[in-house]
Amino acid sequence: MKRILLVEDEASIREFVVINLIRSGYEVFEAQSGEDALRIYKEQKGQFDIALLDVMLPGIDGFTVCRELRKDNDKIGIIMLTAKSQEYDKVNGLLLGADDYITKPFGPSEFLARVDALYRRVSSSSANNEKNINKDELRSGDYVLNLRNRTLTFKGKLVELTYVEFLIMEYFFNNPGVALNRNDILVKVWGDAYFNEEKIVDVNVRRLRMKIEENPSSPKHIITVWGLGYKWEE
Ligand code: CA
């Protein structure tokens, strides 16, 4: 079963989202506040594929919920539901560990396309891990990317990655020293529906640099290629 945790305080939006998700075969756990969402998350022992988090909530906000979920769970897919005018919210959510955002108001087809795409990525990466027994490691210098466990280690020490960050690293490790176009990274990791939303790539690269670079503002591994994108250097 595909399980979703939803937090949204506006009843009309919540109902709209729930109806559409159930029609598409998701099991939905609804919360009206961030506190409720965290309680349900704990009650269900974190067994969710995706969390949909409204940002503006009466008590703790969606960012706080996002940070708490991500602290507990690297694998869950997180989508923020943001207001159109709040440009800052989009980037902030991604920096706190969200994988995507959907801008309100949204229609059912756009909404379901984003949720389905994220669900496919969450579930296919765990399926791949089971198949990939023979070639289960990619190495680059002191970094080892384990494709089966979906982990990155540096000098044997675990680096915590979300699965989106993992997919970006996998793309880098498969193309060492090659300048990769931002749109190619976007389509490779997020899929066709994200064409031209390159800011998502930049934010995730920023997050990755904070995790793997000794000095994130002067990166030695994930190098910016001006006017094009990024490349991985050992
Ligand atoms: Ca709200």
pLDDT in tens, the chain (234 residues): 899 999 999 999 999 999 999 999 999 999 999 999 999 999 999 899 999 999 999 999 999 999 999 999 988 999 999 986 777 777 788 878 898 889 899 999 989 999 998 898 888 665 554 444 446 889 998 999 998 888 899 998 999 888 889 999 999 999 989 999 999 998 888 877 776 778 889 999 999 999 999 999 999 999 999 989 999 998
User: Residue 20 C-alpha to ligand 1 middle, in angstroms?
Assistant: 19
Residue spans in the chain of domains classed CATH 3.40.50.2300: 2-123
Residue from 134, 231, 100, 127 nearest 173 by CA:
231
Task: At 79, list the tokens.
Answer: 């989508």
Its CATH class, for the domain covering 2-123, is alpha beta
Tokens of 2: 């595909």
Q: Is 202 exposed, middle or buried (0-12, 13-18, 19+ CB in 10 A)?
A: middle
C-alpha R_g of the chain: 18
Q: Which residues surround ligand 1, an ion (CB under 5 A)?
A: 9, 54, 56
pTM above 0.85, yes or no: no
In sequence order, which residues have a C-beta less than 8 Å from that of residue 87 and are 6 or more positions away?
Answer: none
Please answer whether residues 53 and 66 qualify as being in contact, where contact means their C-beta atoms are separated by less than 8 angstroms.
yes
How many Å lie between the centroid of ligand 1 and the Cα of residue 200? 23
Sign of the torsion angle spanned by Cα atoms 72, 76, 77, 80 = negative
User: What letter does residue 193 receive in the DSSP assignment?
Assistant: G
Helices and strands (H and E) in the chain: how many: 8, 12
Asked if the 132-232 domain carries CATH number 1.20.58.2030, the reply is no
Cα–Cα distance between 103 and 146 in angstroms, integer? Answer: 34
- Measured in angstroms, how far is the CA atom of residue 164 from the centroid of ligand 1? 26
| Residue 54 CA, ligand 1 centroid: distance in Å | 6
Ligand 1 centroid, distance to 29 Cα (angstroms): 17
Cα–Cα distance, 54 to 7 (Å, whole number): 6
What is the distance in A from the centroid of ligand 1 to the CA of 55? 6
Question: CA 181, CA 1: separation in Å to the nearest integer?
Answer: 36
Q: How far is the CA of 19 from the centre of ligand 1 (A)?
A: 18
Distance of alpha carbon 30 from alpha carbon 196, whole angstroms: 32
